[in-house]
Amino acid sequence: MNQITHANGGDHNQNNLAVGCHLLGFVGLVVPFGHILGPLALWLIKREGNPFVDDQGREAVNFQISFSLWSIIAVTLSLVLVWTVIIPVLAVIALVILAIIWVVTMILAAVRASRGEAYRYPFTLRLLS
């Protein structure tokens, strides 16, 4: 993992924009698909001439898309396997764990970006390169 991805520990403006890319995922709590659209919009607008924002914005968008896919799979499995009492309980537990991972990793990514450190989300499909 790159500790610092831009010169001299970081340009505060780039760091703040990268933090925004990560934290805009929370828009999804109030706007449908906002968890993807928020980071995507900021990344597309600010990536030119900002290599750190380009890297971290792409990472944030990839994570949000991956998170959506993992959530769809978990919900689908819970609906398909609803024929017992144990499976729905396990599905709900899995969804709660996914939600906790979603929140914690976005906060961790934002903290790292604020320091000028590149962050790589776990279990993320790198769809945008």
Q: What is the pLDDT of residues 54-81, one digit of tens each?
A: 999 999 999 999 999 988 887 787 777 6
Residue 60 located in a structural domain: yes
Residue 119 located in a structural domain: no
Q: What is the pLDDT of residues 76-119, one digit of tens each?
A: 877 776 666 666 677 778 788 889 999 999 999 999 999 999 99
114 vs 100: CA distance, rounded Å = 21
User: Which residues constitute the domain of residue 47?
Assistant: 7-114
Please, which pLDDT band fits residue 4 given cuts at 50, 70 and 90?
very low
Residue 106 located in a structural domain: yes
Residue 122 located in a structural domain: no
Residue 1 located in a structural domain: no
Residue 44 located in a structural domain: yes
Residue 8 pLDDT: 41
CA 34 to chain centre: 12
Q: Structurally, how many domains does the chain consist of?
A: 1
pTM: 0.83
For residue 25, give every residue at least 6 positions away whose Cβ sits within 8 Å of its Cβ, in sequence order, or none.
35, 38, 39, 60, 63, 64, 102, 106
